[in-house]
């Protein structure tokens, strides 16, 4: 395997295109300390580790994790271990997110019932006015 294959690099545009996000989003994660590209003058040079971190950040976002939660999980990663600690933490966060979503769903159902009842009262009042 040649050095180029071992150490692939990406421009900010490459990553933005690959993940269908803006370069501004990538710079935001960089400013937050989540990504640390090398620099060649003003040009950012991202490596495979940066790419994987970005992928994990975006996955965490889709799962409803905060940036701080994603950071915590990413920082737990240790390629020399079995990552059981990271996996337990991820599972815990998934369970917390699921519980929060279930509560939101219950709250939405209550609100829908209240809206239905309010609408029915309005319709009854209108029918009384019309008769």
Range of 15-19, 48-52, 81-85 with top mean pLDDT: 15-19
Instruction: Report the C-alpha gap between 111 and 74 in whole angstroms.
Output: 37
**pLDDT, the chain, mean:** 92
Q: Is the pLDDT of residue 21 over 50?
A: yes
Q: Is the pLDDT of residue 1 over 50?
A: no
What is the per-residue pLDDT for 55? 95
What is the per-residue pLDDT for 81? 86
Please enumerate in sequence order all residues whose Cβ is within 8 A of that of 58, keeping only pairs 6 or more positions apart, or say none.
19, 21
Is the CATH code 1.10.10.10 the one for domain 1-65? no
Confidence of residue 6 (pLDDT cuts 50, 70, 90): low
Instruction: Report the C-alpha gap between 92 and 105 in whole angstroms.
Output: 20
What is the per-residue pLDDT for 80? 84
> What would the mean pLDDT of 67-84 be, rounded to a whole number?
88
Every domain of the chain and the residues it spans: 1-65, 78-131
Taken as a whole, the chain contains a residue count of 131
More confident position, 79 or 85: 85
Tokens at 30, concatenated: 């960089």
Please identify which residue in the block is written with the tokens 């900010």: 12
């Amino acid at each position: 395997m040649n050095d180029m294959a071992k150490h692939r690099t990406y421009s900010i545009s490459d990553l933005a295109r690959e993940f269908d996000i803006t370069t501004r989003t990538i710079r935001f994660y960089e400013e937050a300390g989540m990504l640390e590209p090398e620099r060649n003058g003003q040009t950012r040079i991202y490596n495979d580790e940066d790419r994987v971190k970005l992928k994990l950040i975006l996955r965490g976002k889709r799962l409803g994790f905060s940036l701080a939660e994603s950071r915590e999980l990413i920082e737990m990663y240790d390629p020399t271990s079995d990552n059981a600690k990271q996996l337990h933490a991820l599972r815990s966060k998934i369970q917390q997110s699921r519980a929060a979503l279930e509560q939101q769903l219950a709250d939405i159902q209550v609100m829908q019932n209240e809206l239905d009842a309010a609408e029915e009262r309005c319709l009854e009042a209108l029918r009384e006015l019309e008769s």
